[in-house]
């Protein structure tokens, strides 16, 4: 049977690093097993905030990857305001009072680049892809994935010009995303975001989301069909457990933003290190970019001796930390706007043997997932005593050489999720 050709329009593609690249890299890897031939369209020489050259080797051999140049405003802004531009591109927005440079950059970002700084790539992409699709008439379906949500505007324009089938994939919300209010949008700018979001939700033939709460929110805005296809984990990615470190290792992978500062965790740990045995044997490893305010908190709580900062590492190295951990840490902001966010690392944690200690807003969607998968425990931002007790229990198991028992949810494996996405595409 001849595979169905599908054009995937994405911004994050190897050598891009970070969580944004994993979802579609895995779909593309497994699509062929379910009768889909993917063609990828992405920017050439993009100014990615995180680069991971090791991921280039994971791109399937033989797939078509189309590229056109992109003009990145961040590339020029970084020459003038290096630190602030780099932080903003990684999602690090200063909590509390911001300096004039950050206020200026946020104003420009929020008012001159709607919906985001990749808006300048929309018109040239529509021009290039219109010609390509008219030459390759066997491609009947396109998929756009955001953020950046400007890529959905490429889908909207192609849908209008060519009457092609279009799936809009939202890895994160648009106007409901946690940092949207931090842009300090004027009334007209906020309305433009809402108008563009409504346009995409109305015109797409099918909408895909990664969280049930995002699905609920979008259902109030459109009559178009919406499917939940979460992120996941791939068992083949996990390396073998390395030799024991001799420590009770608590591991967090990924960026820790200023607004994700888990003071409740630091307080619990500051109590636990009064036990000399715990202090001697426990290590907290923060593997990824860490905001300065979090570094200050670690020092304020007297945790410098047990907390180690490793910075950004390649994805495979991050997975090594995950499989070697005795306890995995997941921290979300204490905001209503992140209740529906399921970080990609949750699923990678799910594929590892260690339990997850998650901290976030009360009744976040992660709480339900952790409970349903029996993969750890979830706490709000006021549960110092409960967090302390949970860590102490896991430490006691470690001391007694008792490994945790977790259930592994096969429905979140990447291959199973790709099968679900392929069936959705074929149903259009």
Would the pTM count as exceeding 0.95?
Answer: no
99-112: per-residue pLDDT in tens? Answer: 545 666 666 666 67
Q: For the chain, what is the largest distance between any 2 Cα atoms, rounded to a whole number of angstroms?
A: 70
Overall number of domains in the chain: 2
Domain membership of residue 94 (yes or no) is no
Domain membership of residue 147 (yes or no) is yes
The reply to whether 35 and 21 lie within a common domain is yes
The reply to whether 226 and 246 lie within a common domain is no
Q: Can you list the residues of the chain whose pLDDT is less than 50?
A: 77, 79-94, 100
Cα angle vertex 288, ends 287, 289, to 5°?
Answer: 140
The reply to whether 243 and 389 lie within a common domain is yes
The reply to whether 135 and 32 lie within a common domain is yes
340-381: per-residue pLDDT in tens? Answer: 788 889 999 998 889 999 998 887 788 988 988 889 999 988
The reply to whether 244 and 274 lie within a common domain is yes
* Structure confidence at residue 81 (pLDDT): 43
The reply to whether 305 and 367 lie within a common domain is yes
Cβ of 46: how many Cβ atoms within 10 Å?
21
* Structure confidence at residue 134 (pLDDT): 97
The reply to whether 248 and 192 lie within a common domain is no
**Structural domain boundaries enclosing 376:** 235-399
SS3 365: helix
Domain membership of residue 87 (yes or no) is no
- Residue by residue, DSSP assigns 290-320 as B-HHHHHHHHHTT-TTTEEE-----HHHHHH
* Structure confidence at residue 257 (pLDDT): 83
* Structure confidence at residue 179 (pLDDT): 65
The reply to whether 128 and 192 lie within a common domain is yes
The reply to whether 56 and 163 lie within a common domain is yes
């Amino acid at each position: 049977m001849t595979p169905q050709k599908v054009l995937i329009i994405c911004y994050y593609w190897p050598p891009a690093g970070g969580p944004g690249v994993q979802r579609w890299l895995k779909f593309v890897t497994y699509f062929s097993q379910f009768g889909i031939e993917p063609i990828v369209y992405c920017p050439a020489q993009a100014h990615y905030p995180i680069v991971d050259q090791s991921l280039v080797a994971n791109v399937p051999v033989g797939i078509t990857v189309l590229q056109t140049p992109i003009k990145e405003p961040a590339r020029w802004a970084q020459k003038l305001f290096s630190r602030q531009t780099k932080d903003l591109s990684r999602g690090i927005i200063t909590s509390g009072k911001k300096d004039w440079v950050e206020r200026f950059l946020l104003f420009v970002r929020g008012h001159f680049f709607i919906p985001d700084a990749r808006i300048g790539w929309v018109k040239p992409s529509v021009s290039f892809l219109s010609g390509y699709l008219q030459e390759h008439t066997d491609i009947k379906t396109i998929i756009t994935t955001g953020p950046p949500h400007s890529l959905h505007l490429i889908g909207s324009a192609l849908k209008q010009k060519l009457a092609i089938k279009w799936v809009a994939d939202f890895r994160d919300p648009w106007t409901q995303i946690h940092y949207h209010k931090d842009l300090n949008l004027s009334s007209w700018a906020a309305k433009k975001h809402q108008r563009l979001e409504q346009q995409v939700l109305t015109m797409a033939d099918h909408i895909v989301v990664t969280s049930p709460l995002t699905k609920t929110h979008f259902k109030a805005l459109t009559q178009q069909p919406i499917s939940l296809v979460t992120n996941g984990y791939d068992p083949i990615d996990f390396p073998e457990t390395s030799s024991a470190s001799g420590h009770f290792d608590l591991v967090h992978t990924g960026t820790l933003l200023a607004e994700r500062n888990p003071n409740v965790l630091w307080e619990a740990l500051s109590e636990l290190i009064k036990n000399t045995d715990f202090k001697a044997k426990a290590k907290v490893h923060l593997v990824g970019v860490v905001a300065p305010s979090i570094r200050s908190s670690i020092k304020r709580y007297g945790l410098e001796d047990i907390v180690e900062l490793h910075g950004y590492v390649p994805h495979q190295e991050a997975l090594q930390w995950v499989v070697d951990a005795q306890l995995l840490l997941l921290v979300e902001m204490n905001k209503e706007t992140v209740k529906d966010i399921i970080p990609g690392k949750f699923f990678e944690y799910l594929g590892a043997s260690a339990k997850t200690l998650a901290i976030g807003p009360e009744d976040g969607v992660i709480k339900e997932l952790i409970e349903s998968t029996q993969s750890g425990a979830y706490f709000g931002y006021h549960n110092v005593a409960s967090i302390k007790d949970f860590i102490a229990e896991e430490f006691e198991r470690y001391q007694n050489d008792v490994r945790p028992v977790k259930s592994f949810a096969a429905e979140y494996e990447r291959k199973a999720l790709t099968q679900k996405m392929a069936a959705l595409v074929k149903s259009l």
